Structure formats: structure tokens, C-alpha cells
Amino acid sequence: MEIKELGEFGFIKKLACQFATRHSKIVKGIGDDASVTIQDANRYLLCSTDTLVEDIHFSLNYTPADKLGKKAVSISASDIAAMGGKPLFLLTSINVPNSTSVKFINLLYKGIKEKCDELNIALIGGNTSSSDKIIINTTILGEVPKDQVIFRKGASEGDMIFVTGYLGDSSLGLKLLNRKKRKKITERSFGYAMNRHIDPSPRVIEGRAIAKKKLASSMIDISDGLIADLRHIAEESSVGARIWVNKIPLSICFKKWISKYPNDINLAIAGGEDYELLFTAPKSNITKIDIISRKLGIPITHIGEIMPKKCGITVVGENGKIFNHAVDGFEHFKNKN
């Protein structure tokens, strides 16, 4: 049997069963955005690790080394944000071919430092090795007050579904970078979408704000795609969900694009790497969520609701009928790469 038959998510589910443990300090092991273990009487320790592999996650054709460094830090910080936590420490493993220039490595670390400084994260270690392709691994440690942690589990029927920022820009950026359909879009829009892909902003401040006020019943960051990540919440919470296509928040650039290519709405539904926060909350919290949105100057949009498990996950189109989106999102071993 080949791993592609299991898929990334099938493989992780198997691991979660195989390594389920009753260790007294583990609150959540495999299966959330970060592991949750007991740090002291009041706080949980959050840990997560991520890898960026050349020609799978990025191409050197369009990725400057400093942006690659920034992204490596951002995607790890995003997983801590998804738990409502504060990122603190980072370890980076750098694996590069012998022919890599020192200038590239210096730039890579310049980007790592910039993002770490911005998010107040300290680099405390890592590892260095030669390899055939560039592989950057980041392991991040963070913390959260015990009463503020937010899991993927916890959504209940009737809860509203929210998302921060705008969806689809990162996938659109990637599409434009790969397909060079630039003549159909202004340089400014191209630059915006490309930047959203190459240099995403983890929603650490927003995650903390939501956690501090205890507004969310469940939360995840959107790395695999809206539907794929909503499915993770639904499975962990044993619920179903309904999303309205016309409520998905879209940037001006993305709206302009889909006015010419309406099918590309799928990039907002199933495209990954937006690193926005997807969360559920009881209806009674909507005013407080609006206040946070206005205070932080970032849209937090109500895009759907949690349904009974038997309803599964549905996307409703503008005509009120089921919208048949192409795929759920990105899954290693199942998608092309």
C-alpha cells in the first residue's frame, strides 16, 4: 500500500490513534494545530512544527530568501495563534544543497529575524544539514492561559462560523505566479496577491484577542483551505457545517479577478495558505466579535453556521442551492505533489 492511498489526513488519524497516551501532562497530543501540555498551574505550553520543502511548498523561481524565512516563522506562529496562544520560542532546521550561496542563507535568516522580531519570538536553536533540496523546518513553542485555550473541538450546533481577513488571495497569488496570466490583472493587484502568498500575516493578535475574551468555541488556522480546515473542526467537534458562498470575505483584487473568472471562487473555498483564523462562536458573542474586528481594523466575517453532524459540510450558492466546489483543499499525497 502506498501512502497516497491513506492521504495526509488518513495518515495523521492513524498516528493519533497509535500514539494516543494518558500521560498526565498531555492535554492534547496529535490532532490540533499545536500540542497542548501542562506548563504550570495557570498556563499550557503549545508546540507545533512545520516544514517548507522546495518545489512542494515554494519555488525559488519566485521566492526571495528573506520572504521564505519570514514565511517559515509566520506559518508556525499561525498554529499557535489558532490555539489562542502567544508564540515565544522558535527552533529552525535548515537543510540545503552544498551549492547554496552564503548570501542566500544570510538573507533567509534576515527574514527569520525580521518576522521573529515583529512577533516577539526568540530563536533558541535548530539544526543544519546538507540535502538535495532546500527544506526549512520550524518548531515553535508558545503558551496560553489554561482557561483561554481554543481547540478544533468545541463547536456546537447553532454556533456561527467566522473567518478573519480575506480568503483566496494566497491561492490566486500562487496561480498568477505559476501561470503568468499577468496581463489580465494590474501590476498592483498582482503584487498584492503574490505578497499574500509569499509573505502571509499570522493572526496572532487577533487569536489572542478572541481567546482573552473567550469568544470562540473552536478555532483553526486556514492552511489547507476553508472547507478542508472546516472539516477538521467538524470532525473534532462531531458536527456538520453550512457556508454561504456570497458571505466569504474577498479582497478588492480577488473580486476583480473573479468578475472575469467566476470559477476561481473555488480558490476562496478550497485554496490553502491564507493563514486566516476560522472559528466558531455562540450567536450571543457576535457584538463582542464586531468590536474586536473594528478595534483591530481587520474584517471578521460571519460566513456560516454549525449544523448537526448528519448534515455534513455544505456550501450554499447565491441561488440558495448547493454549490458544488471542485475539491475541499490541499492534502499532501492526494493532490499532485
Residues lying near ligand ADP in the complex (CB under 6 A) are found at: 12, 15, 30-33, 50, 79, 223-224
Closest approach, Cβ 127 to ligand ADP, in A, equals 17
Q: Which does 165 bind (CB under 5 to 8 A by kind): ligand ADP, Mg ion, none?
A: none
Q: Which is nearer to ligand ADP, 99 or 337 (CB)?
A: 337
- Decide which of ligand ADP, Mg ion, none touches 12; Cβ closer than 5 to 8 Å per partner kind: ligand ADP
The rounded distance, in Å, linking the Cα atoms of 114 and 128 is 20
At residue 141, the 3 state secondary structure works out as strand
Query: Which residues would be at the binding site for Mg ion (CB under 5 A)?
Result: 33, 79, 221, 223
Residue with cell 492535554: 27
What 8-state DSSP symbol labels residue 58?
A: B
Residue 199: name the closest of 300, 109, 69, 310 by CA. Answer: 69
* Residue closest to Mg ion, measured at CB: 33
257 burial via Cβ count (<10 Å: 0-12, 13-18, 19+): buried
Dist. CA 62–CA 85, nearest whole Å? 32
Q: Which does 31 bind (CB under 5 to 8 A by kind): Mg ion, ligand ADP, none?
A: ligand ADP
Residue 287 backbone phi and psi in degrees, to 5: -65, -45
Which of ligand ADP, Mg ion, none does residue 328 bind to, with CB < 5 to 8 Å depending on kind? Answer: none
State the nearest-atom distance from the C-beta of 275 to Mg ion, in Å: 8
**Smallest distance, Å, CB 19 to ligand ADP?**
7
Closer to ligand ADP by Cβ: residue 217 or 223? 223
What are the strands of the beta sheet with 35-38, ordered from one edge? 26-28, 35-38, 43-53, 135-145, 86-96, 122-130
Closest CB 100 distance from ligand ADP, rounded Å: 26
Region of residue 273 (left: phi > 0; alpha: psi -120 to 50; beta: else)? left
Cell of 247: 458571505
Q: Which of ligand ADP, Mg ion, none does residue 50 bind to, with CB < 5 to 8 Å depending on kind?
A: ligand ADP
Give the nearest distance from C-beta 185 to ligand ADP in angstroms: 29
Q: What is the distance between the alpha carbons of residues 297 and 277, in angstroms, rounded to a whole number?
A: 15
In angstroms, give the least distance from the CB of 206 to ligand ADP.
16
Given ligand ADP, Mg ion, none, residue 258, with its beta carbon under 5 to 8 Å by kind, binds: none
